[in-house]
Structure 1
Amino acid sequence: MNKNFSFIILTYNEEIHLPRLLNSIKELHAETFILDSGSTDSTLEIANAYSDEVKVNPFTNHPQQWDFALKNFDIKTPWVIGLDADQIVTQQLFDLLKSFNPKDYDDVDGIYFNRKNYFQGKWIRFGGYYPFYQLKMFRNGIGYSDLNENMDHRFIVPGKTIIWRKGYLIEDNLKEYDTNFWLKKHERYSDLIAAEEIERMQKIRNQTLKPSLFGSPDEKRAWFKNLWWKLPLGFRPYLYFLYRMLFKFGIFEGVKGIRFHYLQGLWFRLQVDRKISNLKRRIG
């Protein structure tokens, strides 16, 4: 059994994704813990056949689900890796994990993995989507879930972080080949983000990280979020879409890629702004 790290995986109706992910990590022989949100397909059956422990917890949002997982699984290894069920560990990342020696990282609290995101079989290479670094590996008992986020989840560590630029995760949600599924999913997400932004306006939520344009990948994203919140509602989605298309070369993505940037960069954010405006009117 791997004594260096363990995996935590979140699931909800992931029967088409979970076997793919588990096959990509099984030869690492690491303990695997799965937190499910109440699947109604065969996800729990698959999870129980493979993992070391499975728990079920009702879903509120991703940050709270990760917080529950970190606090309720009895993880013994010094490092933890948090993965989503629709991700896959590539061979390059597998090799980095296979050769991982904790003694080489005595001064490090967290490691960023690179990610390749796919939409309906198309690698989204431009628009700011690659490279894209996520803090996925961190010291057990040190890393925690940022509960100041309502939808986008991120792990935080107090100390030094590094980036593994060569190895990467593939994120390819096969359910999103159905555009209606994608739209319904992002309708729910837009509710969460709109509520979050209202709470930030009311000073109920604050940034956990110190925003920095020249800091870690998450500190840099926090800096851009601070800028985003200051832009006028209804105008900022168009500005962001143009930024992705022109300055981040999304225009070269191809038909399917441009469609993704339109849906994720413009349509989705217009839904958020519309719902924020509605909530503001209700509040008065």
Structure 2
Amino acid sequence: MKPGAAIEAVCDKTTDDRLSITAIVLAFNEEIHIRRCLERILPHVQRVVVVDSFSTDKTVEIARDLGAEVLQHPFKHQADQFQWALDTLDIQTDWVLKLDSDEYLEPSAQEWLRQKLVDVPADVTGLEFKRKVIFQGRFIRHGRYYQTVLLRLWRRGCGAIEQRWMDEHAILLHGRSTRVDAGDLVDDNLNDMTYWIDKHNRYATRAMVDFINREHPIFWKDERIKDTDSSAGKKRFLKNSLYARAPLYLRAFLFYAYRYIFRLGFLDGREGLVFHFMHGCWVFMLIDAKIDEARRFIRAHGIEAFKQHLVDRHRIQL
């Protein structure tokens, strides 16, 4: 049987009842994840588009063999990449689904969509999913992390991606959202700790850029999420009004203590110890160190030199 034949067979049988959804999947060197992601979504939606950042592994080959469309576009950051897809694709389906390559919907969430999507009230323009993070094979249930809710599915023309270098969210341009109350959006990255550290080091640099932009406006600050009543908007408000005003470094320790002790992160076992410390303390400490470093650079050389430094050192073109 040729590659992708099993998926093609399933899709052929379910063409008429596949949901009117275009799934957009961002990818770069994701051969470890892309098959799992696509095999779990292709049988259920009318269109799947992989937006690839010129992968050098087999990501594109696997995606095309499975029957997904593949577009390639130079990468700036996740928000820019996904918004480019929204602006470029001629989307004809009723709904748009946002996925990363290491994510997938649980079967119960897929079934919820099959049973209830057609009956969603007209004023509901977006659907939120609860995110389930799997770290080193373990479901991270505690530390308040399992309470993260993300807008990932919206009616065509009703959604956009806020333009940030880090921690971007989908936002509704009008209407309201409701939550899918069966099944989760699973985030299960299969790479090793070296990959995890390298990735979050890059994320910390991008988070620093967004923070410095609050102090020295060097690019347009997208604040559209303030006008929404979303879970992400409320979380952003708390982050900007409380966490961002706390002293550098100390806030990383306080956040870790909150997650690991007061929100019972210790109940997640050995894997939880690593995850909550690395994600809840180390990453935020690293962000603060990069903010501290950026402030010193700006004091010594000025903001224009800092912008050029971002290009030269981090390939970040504002």
| TM-score over 0.5 for the pair | yes
For structure 1, which runs of at least 5 residues remain unmatched after alignment?
none
In the alignment, what sits opposite 1:192?
A: 206
In the alignment, what sits opposite 2:171?
A: 156
- In structure 2, how many angstroms separate the alpha carbons of the residues matched to 1:186 and 1:70? 26
> How many pairs are equivalent?
279
TM-score w.r.t. the length of structure 1 is 0.93
Matched, 1:13 2:48: no
Q: CA deviation at 1:102?
A: 3.5
In the alignment, what sits opposite 1:256?
A: 271
- In structure 2, how many angstroms separate the alpha carbons of the residues matched to 1:174 and 1:3? 28
1:77-101 deviation line (CA, Å, top 9, x unaligned): 1110011110122110110122244
Secondary structure, aligned partner of 1:10 = strand
CA RMSD of aligned residues (A): 1.6
- In structure 2, how many angstroms separate the alpha carbons of the residues matched to 1:254 and 1:103? 41
For structure 2, which runs of at least 5 residues remain unmatched after alignment?
1-14, 300-318
In the alignment, what sits opposite 2:246?
A: 231
- In structure 2, how many angstroms separate the alpha carbons of the residues matched to 1:245 and 1:206? 32
Q: How does 1:95-106 map to 2 (within 5 A)?
A: 95-106=111-122
Secondary structure, aligned partner of 2:181 = strand
Q: CA deviation at 1:206?
A: 5.0
In the alignment, what sits opposite 1:278?
A: 293
- In structure 1, how many angstroms separate the alpha carbons of the residues matched to 2:48 and 2:65? 11
1:167-215 deviation line (CA, Å, top 9, x unaligned): 212111001xx21111111111111111110001224425322289xx4
Q: CA deviation at 1:271?
A: 0.7
Matched, 1:55 2:71: yes
User: Runs of 4 or more off by more than 4 Å in structure 1?
Assistant: none
Match of 1:42 among 40, 51, 58: 58
- 8 Å CA contact 1:244, 1:261 repeated in 2: yes
Q: Which has the larger radius of gyration?
A: 2
The percent identity for this pair of structures is: 34
Match of 1:221 among 220, 226, 235: 235
- 8 Å CA contact 1:200, 1:206 repeated in 2: no
In structure 2, relative to structure 1, the CA distance for the partners of 1:25 and 1:17 (3 Å cut) is same
- In structure 1, how many angstroms separate the alpha carbons of the residues matched to 2:19 and 2:256? 45
Q: How does 1:122-161 map to 2 (within 5 A)?
A: 122-147=138-163, 149-157=164-172, 158-161=174-177
1 or 2, which has the higher helix percentage?
A: 2
Matched, 1:201 2:215: yes
- In structure 1, how many angstroms separate the alpha carbons of the residues matched to 2:235 and 2:67? 33
